[in-house]
A and B are shown apart, each in its own frame.
Chain A
Amino acid sequence: MRTSSVADAELARRAASGDGGAFGALVDRHAPAVRRAARALLGNEHDADDAAQDGLLAAWRAIDRYDPARPFRPWLMRIVLNAARDLQRRGIVRRAEPISPAEAAPGMSPERETDRALIRDKVARALARLPERQRLAVTMFDAEGFAHAEIADALGIPEGTVRSDVFHARRALREALGSLLEETR
């Protein structure tokens, strides 16, 4: 059976019975979102990947404690964000680096690569100026499509606080990225 059509809860059930392939399918499905969220928190791609790997391994160890009656994504996100915070607490995060044009868009013309790298850098800087909780809330809501309740579950805060964080973060981002946002619409 193709794992792409299998629900998260079913893959998690198989993984809990020792099926590494099922867990691999979950990683393939959710790695982009958890890596982006870890990067929003830590501000550095390499640290984000270390945290995502630590968190995903922790999820593999704890998969038999996952409750299939609840959504899988917030459960996984909470574990990965805990791993990211742990990395941050231990003070081993690297300094945030500007994004290089080659990394930004391999295969593009040099001018477009430079433009795109500049845009990404500007967005990353605007995001970095937000308080940590707002950064995570707006990334999870606007970029990853999490519901307010799921974000509240993953971050361990009330849903009303998530709504307020998304609102304030978005307002700050609109102020910082006004013209860019207009071009994107």
Chain B
Amino acid sequence: MTSPFNSGPDEAVGRLLRDALEPAHHAAFVTRMAAAVRAEARETTWDILAGWARPGVAAAAAIALTLAMWLAQSRAPEGAVVTIADAVESSVPTLLLSGGADAGTDAVLAAMVGDR
């Protein structure tokens, strides 16, 4: 004798259940999902770019600081020790932002050509 636990699907029960649970507006649902997936893909792309941007900004800041220290060291008198604070103070961005007497095209040019 076949066990009642092993019987196949009951077509009549299945039909009634499908009818009672039938979702409306299939096409609209699929369209909404496609838009959500596209939005998700865009968001992911921006997340990746944002992920790259943070270390990029940190690296640029580190390079600028190193450059500023190198410039300050090359301008300092023989034997003088240049600190990070000196380097930041005398760096081109600081001069330009502070609008001090040294600011202007001379400072930018000096930063570009160094002591040549």
Interface set of A (CB-CB < 8 Å, partner B):
18, 20, 23-24, 27-28, 31-32, 35-36, 39-40, 45, 48-49, 52-53, 56-57, 60-61, 99, 103, 116, 119-121, 123-124, 127, 138-139, 141-143, 145, 160, 163-164, 166-167, 170, 173-174, 177, 180-181, 184-185
Query: Contact flags (1/0) for B2-14 with A, using CB distance below 8 Å?
Result: 0011100111111
Kindly state whether residue B23 has any CB partner on chain A within 8 Å.
Answer: yes
CB closest residue in chain B, given A182: B12
For residue A163, which residues in chain B have a CB less than 8 angstroms away from its CB? 5-6
CB contact under 8 A between A27 and B30, given known A35-B23, A119-B16:
yes
B30 touches A124 (CB 8 A): no
Kindly state whether residue B26 has any CB partner on chain A within 8 Å.
Answer: yes
Kindly state whether residue B116 has any CB partner on chain A within 8 Å.
Answer: no
Q: In this complex, which of B11, B18, B38 has the most chain A Cβ atoms within 10 angstroms of its Cβ?
A: B18
B37 touches A23 (CB 8 A): yes
What is the minimal beta-carbon distance from B32 to any residue of chain A, in angstroms?
7
Among A57, A174, A184, point to the contact of B40 (Cβ < 8 A). A57
Among B10, B21, B40, point to the contact of A36 (Cβ < 8 A). B21
For residue B14, which residues in chain A have a CB less than 8 angstroms away from its CB? 142-143, 145
For residue A177, which residues in chain B have a CB less than 8 angstroms away from its CB? 16
The B interface is mostly helix, strand or loop, or mixed, namely: helix
CB closest residue in chain A, given B23: A35
> How many angstroms between the C-alpha atoms of A59 and B20 in the bound complex?
26
> How many angstroms between the C-alpha atoms of A119 and B14 in the bound complex?
14
A170 touches B13 (CB 8 A): yes
Among A49, A138, A181, point to the contact of B23 (Cβ < 8 A). A49
What is the minimal beta-carbon distance from B21 to any residue of chain A, in angstroms?
4
Number of B residues near A (Cβ < 8 Å) is 30
For residue B40, which residues in chain A have a CB less than 8 angstroms away from its CB? 57, 60-61
List which B17-50 residues lie within 8 A (CB) of chain A: 17-24, 26, 29-30, 32-34, 36-38, 40-41
Among A31, A127, A174, A184, point to the contact of B29 (Cβ < 8 A). A31
Among B15, B23, B26, B37, point to the contact of A57 (Cβ < 8 A). B37
For residue A121, which residues in chain B have a CB less than 8 angstroms away from its CB? 20
A103 touches B13 (CB 8 A): no
For residue B32, which residues in chain A have a CB less than 8 angstroms away from its CB? 53
CB contact under 8 A between A124 and B20, given known A53-B36, A145-B9:
yes
> How many angstroms between the C-alpha atoms of A123 and B22 in the bound complex?
12
User: What would 9 A/B residue contacts be, using CB atoms closer than 8 Å?
Assistant: A31-B29, A32-B23, A35-B21, A57-B37, A138-B17, A170-B13, A173-B13, A181-B16, A184-B12
Among B4, B15, B29, B34, point to the contact of A20 (Cβ < 8 A). B34
B16 touches A20 (CB 8 A): no
